[in-house]
Amino acid sequence: MIFIQALQHKGAAMVMRQVLDELRQPAMRRGSVRMLCASLLAASTEGIGFVLLVPLLASLDAEASNLPLAGFASGLPLSVLLALFVALVGLRAGAEVWRVLSVQDVSRALVDSLRMNAVQNMLGARWRWLSGLREGEAEALLVSDIDRCAYAVEMLATLVRLALALAALLAAAIVVSPPAALVAIAGGLFAYLLFAPVRRKARMIGEELSARHDTVHTQLSRTMRGLRVIKSFGKESEHARMLENGFSALRRTERAYVGSSAIAQAILQVGGGAVTALAIWVAVTTLSIPLPTVLVLTAIFVRALPLIGQVQAHAQGWAHASPAFESARKFIGASKAHADAVASAPAPEFKSVLSLRDVGVRFAGRQGALSGIDLDIASNRLVVICGPSGSGKSTLADICSGLTFPDSGTVAINGIRLELSMLCSWRSRTAYVQQEAVIFGGTVRDNLRFADAHATEDQMWAALEEAHAGFVRDLPDGLDCPVGATGRELSGGEKQRIALARALLRSPDLIILDEATSALDSASEKAIAEALRSMTEKTTVIAIAHRGILPKLADQVIRLERGGVVAP
Ligand SMILES: Nc1ncnc2c1ncn2[C@@H]1O[C@H](COP(=O)(O)OP(=O)(O)OP(=O)(O)O)[C@@H](O)[C@H]1O
């Protein structure tokens, strides 16, 4: 019955299967078994404790010696019976501690495993799929959704414990008086069915709460990303109002959720109380059960009532948190379905020419981003790609760098066709610098070593000089100056120059710059453009640039319009 309730929301059976699949993994199997054993131990001690009440009453009252179980443990002095009782309570308390710790271990292990699974599959997915992810989608999933999975497991584990405890109490009631226990079961089932609409409403509010959480998360991450634009457009108060509306809608739903949970619990308590009263009335008036038995039964039912209330609360908690499993599994499944090509073959060194023949790229549900591209890019040249926004420049750069594999046509290096299996190897021969230069936390040195873990101090300074990033010498601690999120905030131009130095340290065959000089002043841009020109002695440079000095210095200018090459 408990699980029927827990499984009532849409697709819940599938989610339950997914959770059980996760719990069967070797890292969690032992913890899950420990969790189950502790729950069984706690539940059975509870049931035995109540059954022990019968000989306890029998030892106190001569009338109680007629009870069905009075003979059990007869002859034992009161002190021994009480000591047994205390031992059982102690055992139950110990089992509960063991259970809580096991649940923590399992839920944390599950979160770590899900998160690592999601991260690894995401990092291993094709760029084309990654670039199409909704803004903030992966972060929301990796941080909050996966944390909600731990909560769902805790809810489920508690539901199991409650189910076992209720089963033990029911077994105790059956041992004490089977007819009265049957009346209570029938009454309980009736009350359960009667209050189904209340539970349904509580579940719907739980689902609405999940949706509101997602909305607030998305609004917050969009605001954080757009702070500069919000401020420059003077939209601070408008945005604050939008967030306030989101927060208050969340609060209202949270209140409704708490209220509906409390009401559902209160109704369950009242219904349970009525069922208990009915069972006692039937026991005394119709079944003529002796008063001491009725007392023990009452104690059992009174203990069971709050447990039923807890079942309701935890089933709601599970219904609220378990959809996070579906999201996590869907994300992992999608990343796997878009897994990058396996790196099984080496790509040739770029010695003479990179050729594209009739290359086409089409994103799902869109017109082709590129079509019929025929190009030859000779090695050790400075090549500029230009064209209007959306004409396919970044897509072409992604094809050249091996981040994207064309849907049609071929790419060849020195006449050797680039196969899907060579893509990873080819990528390792290229370096990419994007417009929004990415600087990781840590020091300048850490950022440079990202490209080459064994780069020497001299190599790092040479790359920095070549990228016109001499300003690093003036930073406090130079190469060891903390930068990025954990340290000094660098300007857009400074970041671009460090990103360029990092790319150079990789000694690539091909270096691709996607508007990577856009944040520089004209003097720095000129200096870097000249540096790029001289870099062609050892590498090939492809730069996406709309204007400025780069197209003038280029050996080859490729102009794109609507996904096709046109005359420059
Ligand atoms: N991951 C994606 N999913 C769907 N469509 C995409 C994706 N990436 C690019 N596109 C679409 O492909 C077309 C070419 O995009 P691309 O980014 O290559 O153009 P671009 O010339 O670099 O544009 P811009 O100069 O504005 O950066 C555009 O219509 C774009 O919307």
Contact call for residues 357 and 332 (beta carbons, < 8 A):
no
Range(s) for CATH 3.40.50.300 in the chain? 353-566
**Distance set, CA 499 to CA 190, 472, 478 (Å):** 69, 13, 16
The Cβ of residue 509 has, within 10 Å, a number of other Cβ atoms equal to 22
Residue nearest to atom 5 of ligand 1 (CA): 363
Q: Is the shortest distance between the CB of 390 and ligand 1 below 6 Å? A: yes
Report the CATH number of the 353-566 domain.
3.40.50.300
Strand 556-561 with 564-566, pairing: antiparallel
Q: Is the shortest distance between the CB of 121 and ligand 1 below 6 Å? A: no
- In single-letter form, the type of residue at position 389 comes to S
Tens digit of each residue's pLDDT (9 = 90 or more) over 163-206: 888 888 888 888 888 887 887 788 777 777 777 787 677 767 77
- Residue 199: the pLDDT is 67
Residue nearest to atom 18 of ligand 1 (CA): 392
CA of 131, closest atom in ligand 1: 1
- Residue 12: the pLDDT is 65
- In single-letter form, the type of residue at position 283 comes to A
Pocket test for ligand 1, best of 393, 400, 515, 561 (most atoms within 8 A of CB): 393
Q: Is the shortest distance between the CB of 366 and ligand 1 below 6 Å? A: yes
**Which uninterrupted H or E stretch holds 360?**
strand 353-362
Q: Is the shortest distance between the CB of 440 and ligand 1 below 6 Å? A: no
Rounded-to-integer distance, Cα 66 and Cα 58, Å: 8
CA of 392, closest atom in ligand 1: 18
The Cβ of residue 31 has, within 10 Å, a number of other Cβ atoms equal to 20
Among 2-6, 30-34, 82-86, 426-430, whose mean pLDDT is lowest? 2-6
Q: Which alpha helices (DSSP H) does 428-475 contain, by range?
A: 444-449, 457-466
- Residue 247: the pLDDT is 92
Question: Sign (positive/negative) of CA torsion 519, 520, 526, 528?
Answer: negative
State mean pLDDT over 541-563.
Answer: 87
Q: Is the shortest distance between the CB of 233 and ligand 1 below 6 Å? A: no
The dihedral region occupied by 253, where left means phi > 0, alpha psi between -120 and 50, and beta the remainder, is alpha
> Residue 253: is its pLDDT beyond 90?
no
Q: Identify any residues that bridge with 543 across adjacent strands, giving them in sequence order.
A: 384, 513
CA-closest candidate to residue 443, choices 470, 412, 476: 476
Rounded-to-integer distance, Cα 352 and Cα 558, Å: 18
Q: Is the shortest distance between the CB of 392 and ligand 1 below 6 Å? A: yes
Kindly indicate the confidence band of residue 63, based on its pLDDT and cuts at 50, 70 and 90: low
Contact call for residues 519 and 513 (beta carbons, < 8 A):
no
- Global pTM reads 0.71
In angstroms, what is the span from residue 134 Cα to ligand 1's centroid? 14
Q: Which alpha helices (DSSP H) does 473-535 contain, by range?
A: 492-505, 522-535
Pocket test for ligand 1, best of 127, 389, 395, 405 (most atoms within 8 A of CB): 395
- Residue 88: the pLDDT is 85
- In single-letter form, the type of residue at position 468 comes to H
Q: Is the shortest distance between the CB of 518 and ligand 1 below 6 Å? A: no
- Residue 4: the pLDDT is 46
Q: In angstroms, how far is the first alpha carbon of the chain from the final one?
A: 73
Cβ burial, residue 217 (10 Å; 0-12/13-18/19+): middle
Rounded-to-integer distance, Cα 116 and Cα 111, Å: 8
Q: Which of 318-322, 361-365, 504-508 has the highest mean pLDDT?
A: 504-508
Tens digit of each residue's pLDDT (9 = 90 or more) over 426-485: 998 999 888 777 888 788 898 898 888 888 999 999 999 988 888 888 888 888 888 876
Tokens linked to 65: 């010696």
> Residue 488: is its pLDDT beyond 80?
no
> Residue 320: is its pLDDT beyond 50?
yes
In angstroms, what is the span from residue 362 Cα to ligand 1's centroid? 10
Kindly indicate the confidence band of residue 6, based on its pLDDT and cuts at 50, 70 and 90: very low
Tokens linked to 205: 């509010």
- How large a percentage of the chain has pLDDT more than 90? 19
Q: Please, what is the average pLDDT of the chain?
A: 83
> Residue 60: is its pLDDT beyond 50?
yes
Q: Which of 9-23, 198-212, 413-427 has the highest mean pLDDT?
A: 413-427
Contact call for residues 212 and 249 (beta carbons, < 8 A):
yes
Q: Is the shortest distance between the CB of 388 and ligand 1 below 6 Å? A: no
Residue nearest to atom 28 of ligand 1 (CA): 390
CA-closest candidate to residue 403, choices 390, 418, 391: 418
Contact call for residues 468 and 497 (beta carbons, < 8 A):
yes
User: What number of H helices and E strands is found in the chain?
Assistant: 20, 12
Report the CATH number of the 2-337 domain.
1.20.1560.10
Q: Is the shortest distance between the CB of 395 and ligand 1 below 6 Å? A: yes
Among 87-101, 268-282, 528-542, whose mean pLDDT is lowest? 268-282
